[in-house]
């Protein structure tokens, strides 16, 4: 009996371990859960912060190709669940008919949807020397911009467990600070053959505001392929890792079930 794989793709400033609770939850529902990190990513966030290695060279093109190769390698097409830039990658892949279904949580905007101004508070071109390939977050910045709906103690715990520096090249590819966005920051919104897509936003998200997700949702409006939007009130960009993660994960599991996508196939 073939179990359905699910590939989790993490976002900017977070480590692959940010999906650990989701992976356990999906596994308990019969899915085969995988949360592969970015190329060169060490096993823990603390190790990445101490020795980032080649992480600074990760641009959007590298990540797109990395995850496309992973998803294509499965005999059973997987579900793709992405957060932040992972959500952008998930949309790009499902639009290219790679994967069975996709979920984009607080996704970086696709196509011509503008990046909101909030990320420029964290980084802008010329803030650091060009030789500095990584952009770190302080615990205070993380709490203010990403985990703004939780208390300081929880934010500090999340920071220590999950937060890593972001590749400067990737931030430029996403259009942060007014940089020219990468031509690969796109998804085929007109592909009617693709699998179902769910867009999720947090209505208190300061990094990728709910308004940006709604603008992306409108782009899919003329497509007959399944595209759904779920907005979570009082939730920030940290909604996949903070104390409310289970409500988001369970909504995704219910949505997949509605579309006949389960961890274990129905018995004949």
Over residues 61-74, the pLDDT tens digits come to 999 999 999 999 99
Residue 97 domain flag: yes
CATH value at residue 135: 3.40.50.1820
* Integer Cα distance of 69 and 46 in angstroms: 27
Residue 52 domain flag: yes
Is the confidence at residue 210, as pLDDT, over 90? yes
pLDDT of residue 227: 98
- The pair of three-digit structure tokens given for residue 190, joined into one six-digit string: 């007109």
Selection from 15, 23, 93, 91 nearest residue 58 by Cα: 15
Domain encompassing residue 135? 5-258
User: What is the total count of domains within the chain?
Assistant: 1
Residue 66 domain flag: yes
Residue 267 domain flag: no
Residue 263 domain flag: no
* Integer Cα distance of 108 and 216 in angstroms: 10
What is the mean pLDDT of the segment spanning 129-153?
Answer: 88
Residue 234 domain flag: yes
Is the confidence at residue 268, as pLDDT, over 60? no
* Integer Cα distance of 175 and 178 in angstroms: 6
Residue 265 domain flag: no
Is the confidence at residue 226, as pLDDT, over 50? yes
Residue 117 domain flag: yes
88 Cβ contact list (under 8 Å, min separation 6): 60, 82, 104, 107, 108, 109, 110, 174, 185, 187
**DSSP state letters, 40-67:** T--SSHHHHHH--GGGGG--HHHHHHHH
The pLDDT tens digits for 97-122 are 999 999 999 999 999 898 766 554 56
3-class SS of residue 25: helix
Helix ranges restricted to H, the chain: 20-28, 45-50, 60-72, 85-95, 139-141, 152-162, 168-173, 210-219, 245-258
């Amino acid at each position: 009996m073939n179990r359905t794989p699910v590939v989790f793709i993490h976002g900017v400033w977070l480590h692959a371990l940010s999906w650990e609770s989701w992976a356990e939850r999906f596994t308990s529902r019969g899915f085969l859960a995988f949360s592969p990190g970015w190329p060169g990513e060490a096993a823990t966030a603390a190790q990445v912060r101490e020795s980032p290695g080649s992480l600074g060279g990760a641009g959007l093109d590298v990540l797109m190709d990395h995850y496309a190769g992973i998803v294509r390698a499965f005999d059973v097409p997987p579900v793709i669940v992405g957060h932040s830039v992972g959500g952008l990658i998930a949309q790009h892949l499902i639009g290219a008919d790679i994967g069975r279904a996709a979920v984009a949580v607080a996704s970086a905007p696709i196509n011509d949807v503008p990046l909101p101004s909030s990320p420029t508070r964290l980084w802008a071109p010329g803030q650091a020397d060009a030789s500095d390939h990584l952009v770190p977050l302080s615990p205070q910045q993380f709490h203010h911009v990403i985990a703004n709906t939780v208390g300081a103690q929880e934010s500090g715990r999340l920071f220590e467990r999950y937060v890593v520096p972001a590749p400067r090249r990737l931030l430029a590819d996403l259009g942060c600070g007014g940089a020219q966005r990468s031509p690969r920051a796109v998804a085929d919104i007109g592909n009617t053959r693709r699998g179902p897509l769910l867009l999720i936003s947090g209505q208190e998200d300061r990094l990728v505001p709910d308004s940006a997700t709604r603008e992306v949702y409108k782009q899919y409006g003329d497509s007959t392929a399944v595209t759904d939007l779920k907005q979570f009130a009082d939730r920030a960009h940290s909604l996949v890792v903070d104390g409310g993660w289970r409500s988001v994960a369970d909504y995704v599991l219910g949505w997949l079930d509605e579309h006949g996508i389960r961890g274990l196939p129905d018995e004949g």
